[in-house]
């Protein structure tokens, strides 16, 4: 009379074994990161930024600096501080930082089909109304057309901004991308003000979605 219960138990163990086997994964480098993973390395600036973040300037802009710093109100641990006397308008002159060791050697970010991507960042500035834009751009695109971007208007207190789901980028093919952050003068600001932008927790979150 107890045979059906034993058979049911054995079938249940077999099902668990089969499901465990479907994970298949191990730690192969070909597997995509788990859903919800930030694929930007050192976006929290907790380790040395040499080789991973690089300043650029063009036109009349000169001398921007980008360092990691601590003891900034509203941030825990380290954050990045971008400083420039003038940020321009990203027209005839501009400045910012690139994810990489130089303008010609960006860190390539693999984007995959079957995934969607959103941006998030924590920021503040010493002058309210400071502006910056994070761009995710196809590697090698001469037009620098963003696949995904997030425009931020800063305040003097720390805040976090993120893309909404409707702003998420869904690649139609596997591609490599790069990341650039452009800084812009606050509206009405005069040249030669010392502009300090503090940024932290730069995240490009990879999420699974159903095609």
Count the Cβ atoms, other than its own, within 10 Å of residue 85. 14
Compute the Cα dihedral for 25, 30, 33, 35 and give only its sign.
negative
Reported pTM = 0.79
10 has a pLDDT exceeding 50:
no
CA distance 118 to 170: 9
Q: Could you give the angle at the alpha carbon of 141 between the alpha carbons of 101 and 79, nearest 5°? A: 35
155-206 pLDDT tens trace: 999 999 999 888 999 999 999 999 999 998 887 665 556 789 999 999 999 9
Do the beta carbons of residue 138 and residue 147 sit within 8 Å?
A: yes
Count the Cβ atoms, other than its own, within 10 Å of residue 176. 13
Compute the Cα dihedral for 78, 83, 88, 92 and give only its sign.
negative
73-96 pLDDT tens trace: 999 999 999 998 888 777 677 899
């Amino acid at each position: 009379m107890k045979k059906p219960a034993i058979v049911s138990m054995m079938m249940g163990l077999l099902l668990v074994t089969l499901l465990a086997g479907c994970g298949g994964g191990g730690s192969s480098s070909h597997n995509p990161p788990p859903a919800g993973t930030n694929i930007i390395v050192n976006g929290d600036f907790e380790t040395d930024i040499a080789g991973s973040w690089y300043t650029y300037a063009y036109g009349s802009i000169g001398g921007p600096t980008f360092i990691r710093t601590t003891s900034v109100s509203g941030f825990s641990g380290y954050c990045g501080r971008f400083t420039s006397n003038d940020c321009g308008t990203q027209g005839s002159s501009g400045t910012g930082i690139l994810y990489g060791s130089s303008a010609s050697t960006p860190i390539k970010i693999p984007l995959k089909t079957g995934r969607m991507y959103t941006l998030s960042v924590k920021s503040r500035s010493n002058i309210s109304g400071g502006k910056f834009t994070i761009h995710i751009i196809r590697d090698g695109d001469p037009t620098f057309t963003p696949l995904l971007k997030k425009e931020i208007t800063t305040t003097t207190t720390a805040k976090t901004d993120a893309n909404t789901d409707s702003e998420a980028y869904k690649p139609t093919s596997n591609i490599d991308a790069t990341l650039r952050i452009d800084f812009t003068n606050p509206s009405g600001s005069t040249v030669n003000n010392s502009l300090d932008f503090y940024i932290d927790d730069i995240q490009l979150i990879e999420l699974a979605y159903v095609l």
